[in-house]
Amino acid sequence: MSPNSGKGAWSPPHRRPLAGELRVPGDKSVSHRALIFGALAEGTTSIRGLSDGEDVQSTRRCLEQLGAHIEDCGELVKTPAGESWSEIRVHGAGASGLKSSKRTLDCGNSGTTIRLLMGVLSGHPFPSRLTGDASLRRRPMKRVADPLRSMGAKIELADGEHAPVKIEGGALRGVAYESPVASAQLKSAVLLAGLRAQGETSVLEPAPSRDHTERMLRHFGLKVGTEGHRVWIYGGAPLKAAPVRVPGDVSSAAFWLVAACVVPGSRLKLSGVCTNPTRSGVIDALARMGAKLDLLQAAVGPGEEPVADITAAHSQLVATEVTPQEFPKLVDEAPILAVAATQARGTTRIRGAAELRVKESDRMEGTVKMLAAFGAEARVEGDDLIVPGPQALKGGTIDPKADHRIAMAAAVASLIADGPSTVLDPGCAQISYPAFFPTLDGLLQG
């Protein structure tokens, strides 16, 4: 934290343009899946650039508790291009190699961990119990339990809706599931269960959600069918270990892209950012808003996620509209996009954003309250988040209510506020981006 920070709080040490080059943490979504697929595969999977966030550590701890052997390689691995990557190895247990845990699996704050493991454990013939922190226990689990039950899993929820979750796994049958929401976690849970189900398992979504699971299934040797918003697999085929290089997390990069766009005189270069088209909604939205973004696509190996080096600079922004079909591509970036919208000419509308209400916190309400603490107007109409602009921000004190993305969005907003600002509980950024506040301090201190 900055030198002028009190315990459990952060304030900008200086107000100056942001300049420099940085690499954001490994993509959180890809990191979770790399660990899980490596544990289920035959052979040893090497993973470079794994996210160091607490959510991904929750997935690792749960897999180890289920008998997976995950090894830290220690020294950084140097690539021919001169980049340094941390590397771990997951020694796969194979399709039926996971073992029952005598202890409850603690998923921490990670919705991805608990929901994807619900899918994995539904197909394993032993009982399991999963839980998480108070925030996770408030998030909806019935939407995942229902299709898994239709496949033959026995699942109990604490109150019919939430964790803790009890699972009696076993023989499953494939289903054709039509999802009421576009959710990569829900889709992935069903597909992971489908790996051990008899016959075909398919998921049809109302709009395309992020496709990291489909890509990784193919990377690990499985045939995957796709048509429109439908994806399907056939159960019984083994996964084969494959090396994974985790790209930079676009959700983490979004804070720096917006910061560069709204802080006068700023210019930042971010290297190796994931530009998967099912995740890059925030880049598309900022480009429509007139952001000065320069993307240089990098060469990647077969089966790897697309990546680019992105340069962002201070820009004169205009308002945009995010459609309900586009929203799943930027669901995690909505709070920081709302900060950008306060500096744009016109009224920005993020439509169909109901999923924000069931994240780590009610991010719809949290974003409005965060902006209000800076004296900015934002409102909710139905499932739409509306932010007029441009607005001058005032200094304020922001309590993110333990939501890492609200905390980081507030830190960016503080850079353009007129007057001193304080972000409480900056440590909640450990969930996804442990180095965020130290990196921001370093940029501000020159």
Q: What pLDDT, on a 0 to 100 scale, did the predictor assign at position 5?
A: 42
Q: How much is the pLDDT for 358? A: 84
Contact assessment for residue 261 and residue 340, using Cβ atoms and an 8 Å cutoff? yes
Phi/psi of residue 55, each to 5°? -60, -45
Neighbouring residues of 429: CB distance < 8 A, sequence distance ≥ 6: 404, 407, 408, 436, 437
Q: Does residue 332 have an active-site annotation?
A: yes
Mean pLDDT over the full length of the chain: 94
Q: Could you tell me if residue 2 is left (phi over 0), alpha (psi between -120 and 50 degrees) or otherwise beta?
A: beta
Question: 327 phi and psi, to 5 degrees?
Answer: -55, -40
Q: In degrees to the nearest 10, what's the CA dihedral of 360, 308, 289, 378?
A: 10
**215-252 confidence digits (pLDDT tens):** 999 999 999 999 999 999 999 999 999 999 999 999 99
pLDDT tops 60 at residue 49: yes
Helix (H, G, I), strand (E, B) or coil at 155: strand
pLDDT > 70: percent of the chain: 96
Helix, strand, coil shares of the chain as percentages rounded to 5?
35, 25, 40
d(CA 197, CA 152) in angstroms, rounded, equals: 9
Q: Decide if pLDDT at 442 tops 90.
A: yes
pLDDT for position 84 = 57
Tens of pLDDT, residue by residue over 34-45, are 999 999 999 999
| Global pTM value | 0.94
Nearest to 275 by CA among 247, 314, 294: 247
Domains of the chain: 9-25+247-445 (3.65.10.10), 28-245 (3.65.10.10)
Candidates 332, 399, 403, 441; catalytic one: 332
CA–CA distance, 155 with 137 (Å, rounded to integer): 16
Task: Report, as an integer, the average pLDDT of 315-343.
Answer: 97
Each residue of 397-420: pLDDT tens digit?
A: 999 999 999 999 999 999 999 999
Tokens of 360: 């780590």
Burial of residue 13 (number of CB atoms within 10 Å: 0-12, 13-18, 19+)? middle
